[in-house]
Amino acid sequence: MAALSNSSEDACLVINAGSSSLKFSVFQGGSASEIEPVVTGQISGIGTAPHFQAKDAQRRVLADGVLDEVGPADRAGLLGFLLNWIRHELKGATLVAAGHRVVHGGTRFSAPVRVTATVLDQLEELIPLAPLHEPHNIAAMRALAQVYPSLPQVACFDTAFHQTQPWQSQTFAIPRELTAEGIRRYGFHGLSYEYIAHRLPQVAPELANAHVVVCHLGSGASLCAMRAGHSVDTTMGFTALDGVPMGTRPGAIDPGVLIYLMREKGYGADELEKLLYHKSGMLGVSGLSNDMRDLENSDLPAAAEAVELFCHNVAKQVAALAGSMGGLDAVVFTAGVGENSTLVRARVAEKLSWLGVAIDPAANRAKATRISAQESRVPVFIIPTDEERMIARHTLGVIAATQLSRAA
């Protein structure tokens, strides 16, 4: 087991809570712009057999084992264990705040916010908009407040980045009174897109004010049209179900299909939710797996069809988003599939050749930062995303602003 060196720097804990896992990172540095991760890890198997794993910045294993002697295996007990472990490993460091990824901010939250009892109650009202994610995001915040009430917490929203979209990108063609109630397009993966918006000008300064489509392709997948680093349009809408097919979600689907299933097949709301969130997408089409790696390595025709369907829809959405913002100056691939699947990038680029997109096969296989061919009219990039870094930056920024306000 490796050990961390002593440090006297402040530390920020970043938490991404799921239904049965809790991913975390610890960042340290002189300022929000200079922070670097010193620890990453997760607690998996929550509710069954919790397993703890942590690695340092060099990916050396710091801990890896079943947590069978940590007391209560609920979130509060596990977070208490994690905090004690961090204090022990980061000797001399001071944990100054915790930042949380929160999937849905609704219309009320358009920027990161300090977590209070009132904020938590307001977030509870948003659970129907993100039933797979929001309850677990909130549970982690409540549990951390229980075991460490004096630690400031900040909620960072996946929907916030898309608040810059024009009204026509946010609005469904439904009665205005329903729109006024908050039934509109929100968009997700905003923390990832925000990171790419900051990173792309460093990679390619000439694209700082460009029309760019970013493809966040993972188990959950969406695309975003960005002009000058701001969200103009995106493929996800009211919930995280819309857009391209995903690991277990169908993406865009004719609403009439759902009416048909209710009337002719007797589906209720719970059955529809299970179908749309857990049984569709790549898993439903392939009948094999929701993991793109499994599909690419399979000889099953249905697996190949699932990959083709995914690439077809991604390419279609790139073209649609280019039309939405009036141009296409670059394409960026990011997230698990976008960063790692040579096949998906190649297929998508091939389908976009009519737009002047061409990639260099060798650069694509090597996962180079710029993978477009010399003759390509549209540059294509692979830029690894870093949502945790964005959360840490936002968290420290909110805390600093709070301290300045109090000093004034």
DSSP string, 191-230: HHHHHHHHHHHHH-GGGTTSEEEEEEESSSEEEEEEETTE
Distance CA 306, CA 248 (A): 11
Choose, from 56, 158, 233, 329, the residue flagged as catalytic.
158
Distance CA 118, CA 110 (A): 16
Tell me what the mean pLDDT of segment 173-191 comes to: 95
Domain assignments of the chain as residue spans, ordered by start: 10-157, 205-387
Phi, psi angles (nearest 5°) of residue 279: -115, 0
Place of tokens 């549970």: 139
Tell me what the mean pLDDT of segment 335-346 comes to: 98
Phi, psi angles (nearest 5°) of residue 249: -110, 145
Q: Is 158 a catalytic residue?
A: yes
* Dihedral (Cα; 155, 157, 160, 161), 10-degree rounding: 120
Predicted local confidence at residue 30, as pLDDT:
64
pLDDT of 78-134, one tens digit each?
A: 888 899 899 888 887 889 999 999 999 999 999 999 999 999 999 999 998 888 889
Least confident of 11-25, 143-157, 283-297: 11-25
Q: Do domains 10-157 and 205-387 have the same CATH topology?
A: yes
Least confident of 130-134, 304-308, 363-367, 394-398: 130-134
pLDDT at 45 over 90: no
Average pLDDT, the chain: 92
Contacts of 113 (CB under 8 A, 6+ apart): 119, 154, 155, 398
> What proportion of the chain, given as a percentage, has pLDDT over 90?
81
Sheet holding 211-217, edge to edge: 230-234, 221-227, 211-217, 330-334, 380-382
- Residues 86-91: contacts with CB under 8 Å, at least 24 apart: 86/11, 86/13, 86/26, 86/39, 89/3, 89/4, 89/39, 89/54, 89/62, 90/4, 90/7, 90/11, 90/26, 90/28, 90/38, 90/39, 91/4, 91/6, 91/7
pLDDT at 3 over 80: no
Q: What is the bridge-based pairing of β-strands 36-44 and 22-28?
A: antiparallel
Tell me what the mean pLDDT of segment 240-251 comes to: 96
Distance CA 103, CA 15 (A): 12
Q: At what angle do helices 342-351 and 301-325 cross, to 10 degrees?
A: 50
pLDDT of 357-389, one tens digit each?
A: 999 999 999 999 999 999 999 999 999 999 999
Predicted local confidence at residue 73, as pLDDT:
64
Class of domain 10-157: alpha beta
pLDDT at 5 over 90: no
CATH number of 205-387: 3.30.420.40
Predicted local confidence at residue 2, as pLDDT:
41
Predicted local confidence at residue 145, as pLDDT:
94
Distance CA 254, CA 260 (A): 10
Predicted local confidence at residue 31, as pLDDT:
66
Predicted local confidence at residue 254, as pLDDT:
97
Predicted local confidence at residue 352, as pLDDT:
98
pTM over 0.75: yes
Query: What confidence category does residue 47 fall into, taking pLDDT thresholds of 50, 70 and 90?
Result: confident
Predicted local confidence at residue 97, as pLDDT:
95
Tell me what the mean pLDDT of segment 253-278 comes to: 97
Predicted local confidence at residue 129, as pLDDT:
85
Tell me what the mean pLDDT of segment 166-170 comes to: 97
Predicted local confidence at residue 1, as pLDDT:
35
Distance CA 174, CA 145 (A): 40
CB 393 within 8 A of CB 32: yes
**Cβ density class 282-295: b for 16+ within 10 Å, e for less:** bbbbbeebbbbebb
Predicted local confidence at residue 4, as pLDDT:
44
Helix (H) or strand (E) holding 155: strand 153-157
Predicted local confidence at residue 110, as pLDDT:
92
